[in-house]
Amino acid sequence: MPNRNLVPLLVVLALLSIAAVACSGSRGEGGDFGIDTYQSGGVLEGRETSYQAVLDQGKPVVLNFWGGLCPPCRAEMPTLEGAWEEHREDIVMLGVDVGPFFGLGEISHGIGLLRETGVTYPAGNSTSSSILNDFNLNGLPATYFVLPSGEIVDDWPGAISSGPLRRRINELIDAHAGL
Residue burial 18-57, b: 16+ Cβ < 10 Å; e: rest? eeeeeeeebeeebebbbbebbbbbebbeeeebebebbbee
Query: What is the strand order of the sheet 61-66 is part of?
Result: 28-29, 151-157, 142-146, 61-66, 92-97, 123-125, 34-39, 48-50
Domain ranges (residues) in the chain: 28-177
Q: Please state which of the four CATH numbers 3.10.20.30, 3.40.30.10, 3.40.640.10, 2.40.50.100 is assigned to the domain occupying 28-177.
A: 3.40.30.10
| Residue pLDDT, tens place only, 38-82 | 999 999 988 999 999 999 999 999 999 999 999 999 999 999 999
Q: What's the predicted TM-score (pTM) here?
A: 0.84
- Rounded CA-CA distance 96/68 in Å is 10
Which amino acid does the sequence have at 29? Answer: E
Distance separating the N- and C-terminal Cα atoms of the chain = 55
Under 8 Å between Cβ of 22 and 138? yes
- Rounded CA-CA distance 80/179 in Å is 25
| Residue pLDDT, tens place only, 144-162 | 999 999 999 999 999 999 9
Under 8 Å between Cβ of 149 and 58? no
| Residue pLDDT, tens place only, 73-116 | 999 999 999 999 999 999 999 999 999 999 999 999 999 999 99
